[in-house]
Structure 1
Amino acid sequence: MDAAPSPPSFAGLRRTYEGQPLREADLAADPVTQFSAWFADAVEAGLPEPNALVLATASAGGRPTARTVLLKAFDQEGFVFFTNYESRKGRDLTENPRAGLVFPWHPLRRQVRVEGQVVRLPREDSAAYFHSRPYGSRIGAWASRQSAVVPSRESLDERYRELAERWPEEPPMPDFWGGFRVVPSEVEFWQGQVDRMHDRLRYRRSGDAWVVERLAP
């Protein structure tokens, strides 16, 4: 009988996190302005996919799941991404319109967490973005019933070809596709520090104002 494999060792993966201190006095008055500054730092640092985020949702029954999506816009109203409304995340957000976002900017020893209510974008806003996408991505939105079981890769490719022949120039936006906005109620900025004494500052909405709180690391 073969011996059980040895458990993996993570000793070689240990890191010392050291960054500039993050103090309350350093923060912008609101979290979106602060996020904009950190996002600009991530872009300037050349991070791959700085707008990639982990989106966490839960079904009406409380079953959680998470996946990576791309942030496509943000402003004082919230953080925007697009998807198939019939996908797993689309169904979750329709049943239980709350979400968590994580921006893992590891090379900068930074992380941003967002929690909030989720609303669908107006159809005209989704259409404006849809028609700005490359042609192939627009056909792909029609060809893929996201999260559905498919018989084969070949069936997906055949569906794509059929739709490209149907709309050789300008495919319309599908009724099942569009944007979501996460309206933040909490936004946490995490800056790594030595000895695991990290800086965690959280904006929490209180009425019409933002309260800043320091959290233990």
Structure 2
Amino acid sequence: MMPLRFMSKLDTHQIKFQDRTITVKVVDHADMVSPYLTELKSLIGASTAVGLEVGYFPDKADLFKLFVIPKEAVLMLKLSVGTCCLLIQLSRLDSVPECLKEFLADPEICFVGVGMRSDLAKLKTHGRIDQTNGINVSDLAVKVLKKSCLDGCALEDVADIVGVALPEDPGPAYDVDLEAKFYTSDEIKRLIYEVDAAHLIGTKLLGML
């Protein structure tokens, strides 16, 4: 592996989303998790929601499971806070660092996302990470705004009601290789759109409490 000071520069991407510039770090070495996670944690305030999303082997592969070599299902963990986003390629790490397990198990952090129950189950079963403190964005909106009609609503719909301006959807990320050695700016936008949106909406909702 290259020295960490060079790895840090190679891992970092500056992505423009509307009037925000998001620093995205693609993490493919266990040694890089701790310093990047420390930076992310420094951005968490009292009412900050941490966006969380799990990238995994596409469900459509189940249709061809007789022809697919068995492998770990969870490939990438996405975390978003403020203008910082980590794309941790779990499948390329030699091991899951304890600092990451401790961060995800912190009872004081509110993790938000879409399909959270399914994501956390995959993270535990296939990623060997036990994380239980998470909530769907729509469920959080129902609880904070006391509106049952928001149950199961899409990110964009919740964002409109909450008053969060999301950037234009760059397109689906299901066809982006989660184990790639490098990504284009377009691919990174597609990878972080949902987790960044979850963070923005979740933080706005927690600020209403």
How does the TM-score come out when normalised to structure 2?
0.27
How does the TM-score come out when normalised to structure 1?
0.26
Larger radius of gyration: 1
Which has a greater percent of helix? 2
Which has a greater percent of strand? 1
